Amino acid sequence: MTNEVTNFLRKIAKENNFTVFNEVSGTLDIYNHPPIKQSSGAVYGIFAVSEEPLSEIKEIKDHTNLYPVYWGSDVSPPSRIGAHAKAYKGTGNAKLRENPEIKGKQLIWGAIFVSDYKGFEQHLHKNFEPLIGTSRSGKSLKNIEVTG
């Protein structure tokens, strides 16, 4: 979804030879709750790359040597993925460093912004079971409403 701000930013970026990859937009109402309404949320995945089969998860069909480690959703995926990479206590993170199955394996991640991002995350959990995590939704957003 676009609005006047993203249209302006995209135009200026194009005029100055910057590549635009994706966008998110919304409204900000500082007098009501939640103050931020944004167009979409992100779903992200973390994969292990391994030439040897992993014992606890299945390789993704038609994607050689790729194993789903974690599925998540958030409105700001890089900061959430960073939390999974650390050993923070009490943040509901994946504690990747503590999992022996992926120790020494290359991990790659990606995220896309989609409509019904919680529903899409559930779909991934159901159809591509990850090593870590369940299909249970995380904490609800307090200051942001995703409208898409």
**pLDDT at residue 9 in the model:** 84
Q: How far is CA 53 from CA 64, 65, 69, 107, in A?
A: 10, 8, 13, 15
Q: Are the C-beta atoms of 65 and 28 separated by less than 8 Å? A: no
pTM, two decimals, is 0.81
**pLDDT at residue 136 in the model:** 61
How many CB atoms sit inside 10 A of residue 28's CB?
A: 8
Q: What is the pLDDT of residues 27-46, one digit of tens each?
A: 888 888 887 888 788 899 99
**pLDDT at residue 142 in the model:** 64
Cα–Cα distance, 112 to 42 (Å, whole number): 5
**pLDDT at residue 130 in the model:** 94
Name residues of the chain where pLDDT drops below 50. Answer: none
Order across the sheet with 66-74: list the strands: 66-74, 41-49, 106-114
141 token code pair: 């957003």
**pLDDT at residue 62 in the model:** 92
Cα–Cα distance, 117 to 13 (Å, whole number): 27
**pLDDT at residue 49 in the model:** 96
